[in-house]
Amino acid sequence: MKKRIPKSLKISIIVTSIVTFIVTAILIVWCFFKDILFYAIWFIAITFFTIMCCLSGLLTPPPLPPEIKYAEFPVELVYEIEGERYEISDILVCEYEGWETTGGGLDKDRCWKKRFKSGKEEIIIFDNGETIIEWEAFSASAYMGDDNGFEKRYYGTDPKFYVTSENNSGRRIFEDELLSEFGITIIDYKMPECIENEFSDNKKDIIMNWLTNECK
């Protein structure tokens, strides 16, 4: 990873500063000729506030890097479609990528990526050319112990399936609906267990993390 200030943060600060400067200059000149002191003070205050927000976003340190940056999680699913048995077995790989700016450059969050060792981008359990059913139960940040509790509660310990078709765009479908609508019976599954992670308080790690380029 490159050691530099994130591109989106630099662009955000530069654009905000230029726009703020131009707008402020125009308004101050207008107020000067109109002899409206109150508005001039108000515009200067807004400008100062905007600049302080930009500086706050720039100077706020990014979240601490995790002690565990890489882990592999086995996933398994056994199901039947109209009596025909299918088995899926793969390895979910979760990796720390650094940090990214959010909230218009004012916030910073840890960034994780996930992939399957098989090379698949997603796990499809049904595809008839018109309807696709995907097994989606994977959150890299939650499995790597970097979760505020929301994702863990959302994903839970049971598999979740989503159906996509011409009339359904990513609608969650439950096991009884899988059976009644598509003849799919979920027999068994193995879900990953979330790890216990810690986050470095080493000053060198913190400084290097601050200089690390945001993830793509």
Q: Write out the two tokens for 215.
A: 């993830």
Distance from the first to the final alpha carbon of the chain = 11
Judge contact between 51 and 14, C-beta under 8 A. no
Is 167 a residue whose pLDDT tops 60? yes
Asked if 27 and 36 touch (Cβ cutoff 8 Å), the reply is no
H or E, element range at 57: helix 37-59
User: What's the whole-model pTM score?
Assistant: 0.65
pLDDT digits (tens, 9 = 90+) for 59-114: 667 788 888 999 999 999 999 998 899 999 999 999 998 877 765 556 678 888 88
Structure token digits, residue 61? 């340190």
With cut-offs at 50, 70 and 90, classify the pLDDT of residue 121. Answer: confident
